[in-house]
Structure 1
Amino acid sequence: MKPSPRKSRTLVRIPVEFESIADDTELKGKGYTLDLNMNGCRVESHTIVPRGSYLRLRLTIPKVPAPVLIGMARVRWVQAHSFGVEFIQRSADDIPVINRVTAESTEQKESVGRAIQQRAGTANCTVLVVEDDEDVRHLCARTLEEIGCKVIKAAGSTEALQASAAYMGPIHLLLIDLILRPPVLQLQSGGERYPRVHGHELVNHILRIRKKCHVVFMSGHDDSALKTLGIDVGEALCLQKPFSREDLLVAINQAMAASPCEYRESRPDKPKKAANSR
């Protein structure tokens, strides 16, 4: 398995520290934001933050000598490993800095989006996102739509195969979770038209019809755990969960720059001759 890149950053990633304003709550944490604007930001963090909390934020912006301090921010929404805040108190002195970062982030997102679209050879790169976690699926879809991609969403392999069969246009990229939770205890992958299978098998089913697509897998399991499950994706890119929107775009950009995966029909082994009983 080829891991997705972690060092080659294409978007502004701003470290942020936060703490609760309430004296009776010992809530502190660290994270990153990619969506800083004048009204608020999205924070990616492993710290659990309740919706409706009031926080102080300290943002360390590259090439800015002093941190940007947000005196009060309210948590408006919470998703897996991320939350959104609305700024209530901020210094007027920080407005030019926030405006500059917002402009840089927008420009870089547009640049990545143009690169992906060019590699797709069309104005609208179409991506099939298959993920059983609703929050992760929403994060992926929103990130891709922001850079101009058309997104087809599916929660499992059956839905993905149905969507692929129904969609008449080209699908340029498959963004697929490796371990898909089945709706029943036993995965069924027999002769059904739309079987319940894991991500690596799903790609083969789609490529049998689509012939070639770029592929990025997502997984919360490491290589050893996947091998234990009998899963091997070869040289395909695999994005390790949890990941940021930045990591997602870097992985997709790299996958689109590489050759697409093609369907290869597996040839059964020749039957061995029965041993002569005499």
Structure 2
Amino acid sequence: MAPRRYVRTYYRFPLNYPVIFGGAPFVGEGVLTNLSLKGCSVLCDREVLCGSDVRVSVLLDHQPPALPIDLGTIKWVNGHQFGVEFVRLPVEAQQRLNRTLRTELIEWLKSRQSSSDLPETSTPDN
């Protein structure tokens, strides 16, 4: 039987925001490397335990205070990088996350549109 292919439900935007995270056996700082409505990836200076519950605070640009993820689950670990599935966010945090991702989507669409607006290069006929 072939292994099931894992497919994310939501697009993860590549971003770089400082984070503070903590679980039962660990506390640390790192950099959020991508973000979606339901999860993120974090790069840090320590290894964490897959399956652990974690609290994450994301320091978004120009948006104090930190965005609190009250409860997340570490779904995968690869050395000093790990993925978090968001389990519980306060309503205000979910709204801020939605706004942040909406802004990122608009910027992504603008960049795709401007790259498609470039003139096509033509080659001389032989």
Provide the TM-score with structure 1 as the length reference. Answer: 0.34
**CA offsets, 1:133-178, max 9 Å, x none?**
xxxxxxxxxxxxxxxxxxxxxxxxxxxxxxxxxxxxxxxxxxxxxx
TM-superposed CA distance for 1:73, in Å, is 0.8
SS in 2 for 1:71: strand
Residue of structure 2 equivalent to 1:54: 53
Aligned counterparts, 1:62-73, within 5 A: 62-73=61-72
Q: 1:83 to 1:115 in 2, by over 3 A?
A: farther
Amino acid in the other structure paired with 1:82? Q
Deviation at 1:65, TM superposition (A): 2.3
Report SS of the residue matched to 2:105: helix
Higher relative helix content: 1
Tell me how far apart the structure 2 counterparts of residues 41 and 89 of structure 1 sit (CA, whole Å).
14
Deviations for 1:53-103, whole angstroms, at most 9, x for unmatched residues?
A: 111111111222211111211001123542111112210111221001112
Structure label with greater radius of gyration: 1
Higher strand fraction (1 or 2): 2
Aligned position for 2:29: 30
Shift of 1:108: 3.2
Matches of 1:31 and 1:53, distance apart in 2: 17
* Equivalent residues of 2:15, 2:34 under 8 A apart: no
Query: What are the residue-to-residue correspondences of 1:102-181 with 2, within 5 Å?
Result: 102-113=101-112
Change (3 A) 1:51 1:116: farther
Quick one: which amino acid aligns to residue 18 of structure 2?
P
Verify the 8 A CA contact 2:69 2:93 in the aligned structure 1.
no
Aligned partner of residue 63 in structure 2, secondary structure: coil
- 1:104 counterpart letter in structure 2: T
* Number of aligned residues: 107
Q: Would the alpha carbon gap of residues 46 and 12 (structure 1) be closer, same or farther in structure 2, given more than 3 Å must change?
A: same
Q: Which residue matches 2:84? A: 85
One-letter amino acid matched to 1:92: V
Structure 1: gaps spanning 5 or more residues: 1-10, 123-278
TM-score with structure 2 length normalisation?
A: 0.68
Which residues of structure 2 form unaligned runs of 5+? 1-13, 122-126
Query: Is residue 43–residue 81 contact of structure 2 (8 Å, CA) maintained in 1?
Result: yes
Name the Cα RMSD after superposition.
2.6
- Hey, what does 2:7 align to over in structure 1? none
Determine whether 1:17 maps to 2:16.
no
